[in-house]
Amino acid sequence: MIDELAYVVIALAVVAVIWGLVTAVINKPPGKAQLLFAAGLEIVTVVQSIIAAAMLATGFRPMELATTIGYLIGIVILIPIAWFWANAERNRFSGLVLAVAALAVLAMTLRLLVLWTPAA
């Protein structure tokens, strides 16, 4: 895991959360730009998980290995599922669904930053 990349994920996720809240408040389904932005967040998240997996494969050992692996896998499936769920019924709540997923990505990234500590 690269800390700087984690900060990028956090920043993108914050924007995605706010964007989802805004479209819900103004009663609009997510637009194309918003959906592409969510896809961008997903791509950066996937890149981060791949980098972390490579570091684990080459010998890095965090304190809680099993939990860390669980987070690295779990974090990449949230946005795709939310994307499908948000588009299956498009209205103001679609944006909230995306916001919820982005908030989870945000929380999991913060947790990963803590988990990513070398085992003593």
Partner 1 sequence: MTGSPIQPADSTVLKTNSGAGRVLVAVYGIFALAATARASVQLLTRFDEAPLAYLLSALAALVYIVATITLARGTRASRRLALIAIMIELAGVLFVGTLSVVDPEAFPRATVWSVYGIGYGFVPLVLPILGLAWLWRTRPVNH
Among 94, 106, 109, 115, binds partner 1 (CB under 8 A): 94
Task: State in angstroms the smallest separation of the CB of 4 from partner 1.
Answer: 26
Question: Rounded CA gap, 58 and 118, in Å?
Answer: 13
Question: Rounded CA gap, 15 and 23, in Å?
Answer: 12
Among 25, 54, 70, 117, binds partner 1 (CB under 8 A): 70
Phi-psi region of 6 (alpha: psi -120 to 50; beta: other; left: phi over 0): alpha
Interface with partner 1 by CB under 8 A: which residues? 66-67, 70-71, 74, 77-78, 81-82, 85-86, 89, 91, 93-94, 96-97, 100-101, 104
